[in-house]
Structure 1
Amino acid sequence: MSCHLRSASLPSSPRSNRAEVEQQLQSLKTTISSPSTTIDTMCNGFRSLGDIYSSIEEMMCTPSNQVSLCQTLQRKAVEEELGQSLVLLDLCNTMQESFIDLKMSVQELLLVLKRGDDATAQLKAYIRLTKKAQKHFKKDCKRTTFVEKDCRVVKLLAEARLITTSLLEFTLCLLSKQIEMPKWSLVSRAFQKGKVVCEEEQLQALECSIRDVESGAELLFRRLIRIRVSLLNTLSSQIP
């Protein structure tokens, strides 16, 4: 079920547009931090963030905002956010690689189950991958900073960046909880055929979820690159 947060018709004024984006960001922040959040929620979150970044880019490219962003004080804030955008792009790229590794791990699990072999080693490998990704994520997150900005467009970018970071973190956390060792015990496969079938179905659903997450992260990555290019073009087109 989709939960796109962007309105079908964009507001006509920058002020109303800004208010809408702020509302979207707050709504998404509340959604992804909810105890009832699921992988599907995160997949929708990636798409919603892509829409939000597109709205911010539209605001950023208006003539008045382009002039404002290039003023001396605002320009400094823009340059600082450009530096942080590189950190976020690195983080997204790392997470995309982690999602690919997790997807391959689940595919190996499926093959082992279909052969009727003990899947303990593959299960432990999946758990190691999620823990490694979470550790790497926390290390990279230390490079991100948030300073309150006077420039509203830059402030929206900074808030979107923080929510993007939270979305990636919560997604990894959910993926790490999808498999718990006790329920995957295959000690007596012969007497647990119904359970094994269920496990295979769960794995197939998990593989599908990871594919959706991977696709959403890729879309978001492209949006981040596009908005970074727009910022760079704005600064280079109006050199003070």
Structure 2
Amino acid sequence: MASSSAKPTRSISLPSRLHPNSQKIEAQLNKLKTNWESSFSSKETPLGSDNILSGLADLAELYGSIKELIHSPSTQQALLQHHSRKVLEEALDASVGLLDACGTARDLLLRMKENVQTLQSALRRKAIGDSSIESNVQSYINFRKNAKKEVSKSLRALKTMQNVQAFHTLDVDHPLQMVITLLRELSAIAITIFRYLFVFLSVTAATKAKASSGWSLISKLLAPTSFAASERGHKIFNEVGSVDIRLWSLQGQLRKHSGAKIDVGMVKRRLKSLDVCVEGLEAGVDSLFRCLIQHRVSLLNLLTP
């Protein structure tokens, strides 16, 4: 997947004397960057939940490894010797923004799961033609509209975070500079993954006319242009969008053929698929949220020895 900065992949090289697992950390970061810069290089690649779930898992694993590096005596000594409080405070600010984004994503996924399961239950128990079916469908559609507003707000916040990623270069020795670079690149890739997660949760299939205006707003928030243009070129069709399409269609049929028997088999199948998808993403976001909290605690411990 192309990064929002649209720069070529650059490998980071950590001095092995910083920590025994430096090479492992280096490999994890470069793998994550490469995967996200290449996964969506083809315009035929759908924005799928599997890709995002994999990214969340890899990111959580990397945060675990970074925790070991931050706790290493050599890293702590280097940071304290060079009075790198400003760098740590910047990393702390980034951790707050990422925790906010992760918390919002977790809340959206939880409410989406609740809405999906409520609608599934309604379709199982009620006969088509019952007015409550249309009411439940409309409730889900209303949830989706409100969710897109929350997504837009989160994307604005992430865009602001990305704009302040232009950190000052410090006059420090090579090992410390590599730690600083690592923290900044880790934050940058986390921002990118969260942005794609929010796009996944908000954008419906591009074939739906109603989606065009919503995408126009989202694409502006995904600036720089290279990021937005890359995503517009892809098939924005996923488990979330497929349910939207089916429900819009079902809602139209219910209004047009009030009281008539309507087949909801496809809607049920799409909802089941989305339920499984959301459950997986929710677990991935929960795991990452815990890693982000631990990361913030590690940084706070450095500032308050």
Aligned residue number for residue 22 of structure 1: 29
Match of 1:51 among 19, 39, 61: 61
> What TM-score, normalized to structure 2?
0.65
Aligned residue number for residue 265 of structure 2: 197
One-letter amino acid of the structure 2 residue matched with residue 104 of structure 1: E
215-224 vs 96-105, which moves further? 96-105
RMSD value, Cα: 2.6
Does residue 1:212 correspond to 2:280, yes or no? yes
- Distance in 1, matches of 2:185 and 2:261, equals 53
Aligned residue number for residue 141 of structure 1: 158
Q: Is the 8 A contact 1:21 1:56 kept in 2?
A: no
User: CA 1:81 to 1:221, structure 2 compared with 1: closer, same or farther past 3 Å?
Assistant: same
Does residue 1:223 correspond to 2:285, yes or no? no
Aligned residue number for residue 181 of structure 2: 155
Aligned residue number for residue 36 of structure 1: 46
User: CA 1:68 to 1:128, structure 2 compared with 1: closer, same or farther past 3 Å?
Assistant: same
> What TM-score, normalized to structure 1?
0.81
Aligned residue number for residue 92 of structure 1: 102
Could you give the per-residue CA deviations for residues 19-69 of structure 1, whole angstroms, max 9, x where no partner exists?
313313313422665533411221222111110111111222222111112
One-letter amino acid of the structure 1 residue matched with residue 84 of structure 2: Q
Identity %: 27
Does residue 1:232 correspond to 2:300, yes or no? yes
Write out the 4+ residue segments of structure 1 that deviate beyond 6 Å after TM superposition. none
Match of 1:121 among 129, 138, 145: 138
Please give the secondary structure, in 2, of the residue aligned with 1:130. helix
- Unaligned 5+ segments in structure 1 are 1-10
Please give the secondary structure, in 1, of the residue aligned with 2:60. helix
Shift of 1:133: 2.6
Shift of 1:112: 3.3
Aligned residue number for residue 166 of structure 1: 192
- Unaligned 5+ segments in structure 2 are 1-15, 171-176, 205-239
- Distance in 1, matches of 2:111 and 2:94, equals 26
User: CA 1:70 to 1:158, structure 2 compared with 1: closer, same or farther past 3 Å?
Assistant: same
Q: Number of aligned pairs?
A: 225
Please give the secondary structure, in 1, of the residue aligned with 2:84. helix
Does residue 1:71 correspond to 2:81, yes or no? yes
Aligned residue number for residue 4 of structure 2: none
- Distance in 2, matches of 1:74 and 1:120, equals 54
Q: Name the structure with the higher helix share.
A: 1
User: CA 1:129 to 1:213, structure 2 compared with 1: closer, same or farther past 3 Å?
Assistant: farther
Shift of 1:93: 1.2
